[in-house]
Amino acid sequence: MELTGNWFAESVSPDLAVLARLRAVLFSGATAYQKVEVLDSCVFGRSLVLDGKTQSTETDEFVYHESLVHPAMLCHPEPKSVFIGGGGEGGTLREALAHHSVESVTMIDLDAEVVELCRTHLPGHHQGSFDDPRVTLRHEDARGYLDSPGGGFDVIILDLVDPLEEGTAYLLYTDEFYRIAKARLNPGGVLVTQSGPAGLPNHRECFTTIYHTLSGVFTHTAAVQVHVPAFQTLWGFTLASDAPLLSTPEDGLDAAIAGRIAKELRHYDAETHRGMFALPKYLRQGLAEETRINRDDSPVFMT
């Protein structure tokens, strides 16, 4: 096949790359923290790419954002206060605000330039959520914010860039950070974090370690996987709490979604939930065999 036009090449692993044909490059440059590209691809539409890694695309972002937000939010009986770390596109914010019970959301994204680019170029992601009066948006270090005196949160959602050695977020995946975050949770509070690739070739890069690290901090943890087409692999999330997780009975989940969320979801429902939490054997085995703990002085990096 002859390749014509402009193409974006992304490394999935050191030995695997994928190509996507582009309609347009809406932005390409660098902020004080990272390289940023906003691309319009023929397959995935408008896409945010940070340091060469696709963060989300308008074609399938709802799969990622609904999977990250709603299982965790529904584990809490009535989440009123929410903290979001990262999430510059606004998709995570959009989904959290859809819960009727939410009274306030504090969103901390280090890179104000990325947020402004997303406000301009990715309106389908945020859908005006940055302008919701319940939102407090700050541009500072999420760890420093959580480690400062302040009120508690019912749900903490960590929609962070991957833990790359040269990146901005690897110290937001460590045992020490999770203990800081736990201290800001209200009683019965729930934390969820994106946890990196969960596919067969690369699930041990960071997913199993993040899960194992959280298991040493919280009484209850749950691992989740979902296929995100733009990521070219299964993707992992980890839920953690000192209260029992998944308290909504499965046969009542669709009713809970209908009663608690002020929108029609495109991905997440009771049947999808069963698939997300039903891990394939290789993942269950990888999680059971993991011994590494991600610490400040010995962080685990994605390759």
Out of 109, 111, 154, 159, the active site residue is 159
SS3 278: coil
Burial per residue of 247-262, b for 16 or more beta-carbon CB atoms within 10 angstroms, e otherwise? ebeeeebeeebeebbe
> Is 131 annotated in the active site?
no
Q: How many CA atoms lie within 13 A of 29 on its CB side?
A: 7
Residue 194 to residue 90: CA distance in whole angstroms: 15
Structure tokens at 192: 């969820």
SS3 183: helix
Count of CB atoms situated within 10 Å of the CB of 12? 17
Residue 196 to residue 102: CA distance in whole angstroms: 27
Q: Are 207 and 201 a contacting pair, CB within 8 Å?
A: no
Catalytic residues: 159
